[in-house]
Amino acid sequence: MEEIKLTGEQRRGKLLEWLKQSSPLTGSELARRASVSRQVIVQDMTLLKARNHPILATSQGYLYLTGSEEPKIEKVIACKHDRSRTEEELLLLVDHGVSVDDVIIEHPVYGQLTALIRVGTRSEAFEFIEKITSTGASYLSELTGGIHLHTISAPDADRIEKACAALQQAGFLVED
């Protein structure tokens, strides 16, 4: 069977369809499905976001936000630790039913840098750590001596309160 080459607009339509059906999907997976390079997918995602499609690029892949997400409570917390304690921090949070939405640092040159990580389960935490390890990438917090912020979220404030108490006890929270 001969493969039919899609136009850019057709391909972007397919990308939206795939993301709405099953996300997150990595750029590599989308590139394989569309028979194009990962760089073409990155460009397509940029165009789709510019057209106000609610697409997020996370460490697990691209997400299409449907608006059906359950209401949640959010809180920004300040943490400090070295590279070796990242897994412990993430597991502590997800084990309390809290999602880690992002990591934020204040860079002396670039200002505020934010990276979406969207870690809400133990398996997502392990995948995140594995991706950092396998790529040899640095954590953003390594640029600031371990100090960083997280936006965390949960269905209720009680989970966030208990998670913060556990972070405090483990020595992760930065004191005011």
pLDDT of 44 reads 92
Check if the beta carbon of residue 89 is closer than 8 Å to that of residue 103: no
Query: 75 has which bridge partners?
Result: 152
Note the pLDDT tens digit of each residue in 125-142. 999 999 999 999 999 999
- The model carries a pTM of 0.69
Distance CA 140, CA 138 (A): 6
pLDDT of residue 15: 92
Q: What token pair was written down for 166?
A: 């556990």
| pLDDT confidence tier of residue 90, bands split at 50, 70 and 90 | very high
Contact 159, 97 (CB under 8 A): yes
> All domains of the chain, ordered by start, with CATH?
8-64 (1.10.10.10), 73-170 (3.30.1340.20)
Q: pLDDT tens, 8-40? A: 899 999 999 999 887 688 889 999 999 999 899
